Amino acid sequence: MAIERFDVVDLIRTKRDRGALSAEQIDWLVDAYTRGYVGDEQMAAMTMAIFLNGMQREEIRDLTLAMIASGERMNFDALSKLTTDKHSTGGVGDKITLPLAPLVASFGVAVPQLSGRGLGHTGGTLDKLESIPGWRAELSNEEFFAQLESVGSVICAAGAGLAPADKKLYALRDITGTVEAIPLIASSIMSKKIAEGTASLVLDVKFGSGAFLQDPARGRELAETMVALGKDAGVATVALLTNMNVPLGLAIGNANEVQESVEVLAGGGPGDVVELTVALAHEMLTLAGQPDADVEAALRDGRAMDTWRAMISAQGGDPDAALPVAREQHVVTADRDGVLVRQEALPFGIAAWRLGAGRARKEDPVQHAAGIDLHAKPGDTVTKGQPLFTLSADEPERFERALAAVEGAWEIAETGTRFEREPLIADRIA
């Protein structure tokens, strides 16, 4: 039997007592956990110690590197195009990847968007795209590279080979109340993005009601930590710190989010979705050497739409096919005249999830037509009886629990009440 280099209990005690782990200790810990020598109960104690006591910057870097080393690294050197990628920490109604990837690719840049399925109230990009008849998330390596070269953008499932240590650790954090630790979130996201091999990366780090971290200061700390990790690894990285107190756009679900994304690609769509798509595209193209690219023009003149259609078709989807529609609808109307002054992201995300748009266990299917369509946003004047939002589900029994989730989550103030929207993009961290 091979002799182990460290004693895991010593390492747990070190973190418990606010000490720092060396690079050798972290490498060993991640490797020993991945191969099953360190047990889940020991790693759970370690992640809780990290959650409570934090990690120094060097430890976070070493943890990220160890998780990268647990799997394969991709390499885009053989591509004729520069690569750029985007990652969002997730929010309610966040469908930005859908219009963004083809928009950026329409400028001749490769956008390899390895995505996941949703768990809990934040939706997964693959779940949304799977509402398009025929569309396929699983691609072989050859298909992936060929599509990057021909179309430019690919949104597909991440293979199991990237940062397998993170997969195991994330599943453990999920059931031990240790997800919301900045060192663990930052190393988890950045290990996958660095292993993926992109030359540059734009992060959309969210704060507020519908985000992982509600407090803007903690969102900023996460953004700064991830930008530093990217730079240390030679990936040009920029983060936008964005507000997730209100759902993004008007659609929360799967098929309806695809529909809204297509509206953006057709030059329309809700102002907040367009604003964030354009801002992120500008950052990605700047990192890819095109700071003067006219992003809005590509939305107006159909170039981004052409790339979207090519991207969907290349993965077996029919961009002209009708999207699924739910069997049942329930409309909630305004009970008075006034100004809508509050619409909290998290309850609406939970309600969409309860309607069937999300999954509670990773093996559950999602119902692609389930979700919520908002008809008014904070700041809008509403009149009594006007529809505020529509719930859609295949099973009407789901409405009651969804309505319970949004109870008290919106507010209509007196007509004439002044309302100031919070800026969507709070800061840029480079």
Beta-carbon contacts of residue 314 (< 8 Å; ≥ 6 apart): 147, 150, 151, 154
Q: What is the closest distance, in whole angstroms, from the C-beta atom of residue 177 to ligand URA in the complex?
A: 13
* Site of interaction with ligand URA (CB under 6 A): 170, 179, 184-185, 188-189
Q: What is the closest distance, in whole angstroms, from the C-beta atom of residue 188 to ligand URA in the complex?
A: 3
From the list 62, 166, 272, 373, the catalytic residue is 166
d(CA 342, CA 307): 37
Query: Do you know the residue count of the chain?
Result: 430
Catalytic-residue membership of 327: no
Catalytic-residue membership of 368: no
Catalytic-residue membership of 166: yes
Using left for φ > 0, alpha for ψ between -120 and 50, and beta otherwise, residue 142 falls in alpha
Catalytic-residue membership of 188: yes
From the list 15, 86, 87, 128, the catalytic residue is 87
Give 63 or 314: the residue with its C-beta nearer to ligand URA: 63
Residue 77, token pair as written in the block: 């050197």
417 and 341 Cβ atoms separated by less than 8 Å: yes
Give 170 or 207: the residue with its C-beta nearer to ligand URA: 170
From the list 88, 153, 187, 188, the catalytic residue is 188
Q: What is the closest distance, in whole angstroms, from the C-beta atom of residue 213 to ligand URA in the complex?
A: 10
Give the CA count within 13 Å in the CB-facing half-sphere of 81: 23
Alpha-carbon torsion angle 394, 400, 404, 406, nearest 10? 40
Give 184 or 295: the residue with its C-beta nearer to ligand URA: 184
110 and 148 Cβ atoms separated by less than 8 Å: yes
Q: What is the closest distance, in whole angstroms, from the C-beta atom of residue 259 to ligand URA in the complex?
A: 26
d(CA 148, CA 307): 11
58 and 20 Cβ atoms separated by less than 8 Å: yes
d(CA 152, CA 306): 12
Q: What is the closest distance, in whole angstroms, from the C-beta atom of residue 30 to ligand URA in the complex?
A: 15
d(CA 3, CA 32): 12
Q: What is the closest distance, in whole angstroms, from the C-beta atom of residue 225 to ligand URA in the complex?
A: 12
- How far from chain centre, in Å, is Cα 106? 22
Give 173 or 368: the residue with its C-beta nearer to ligand URA: 173
Q: Tell me the one-letter amino acid at 423.
A: P
User: Count of CB atoms within 10 A of residue 69's CB?
Assistant: 16
d(CA 323, CA 329): 16
Q: What is the closest distance, in whole angstroms, from the C-beta atom of residue 67 to ligand URA in the complex?
A: 11
Q: What is the closest distance, in whole angstroms, from the C-beta atom of residue 124 to ligand URA in the complex?
A: 11
d(CA 417, CA 336): 14
Give 239 or 370: the residue with its C-beta nearer to ligand URA: 239
* Cβ-proximal residue to ligand URA, closest one: 188
Q: Where are the beta strands (DSSP E) in 218-318?
A: 236-243, 251-253
Catalytic-residue membership of 362: no
Give 229 or 262: the residue with its C-beta nearer to ligand URA: 229
Give 196 or 373: the residue with its C-beta nearer to ligand URA: 196
Secondary structure letter of residue 398 according to DSSP: G
11 and 53 Cβ atoms separated by less than 8 Å: no
Give 177 or 423: the residue with its C-beta nearer to ligand URA: 177
Give the gyration radius of the chain's Cα atoms: 22
Q: What angle do CA 429, 94, 114 make, to 5 degrees?
A: 80
From the list 117, 168, 173, 359, the catalytic residue is 173
Closest CA to 251 of 276, 277, 279, 270: 270
Catalytic positions: 87, 166, 173, 188, 192
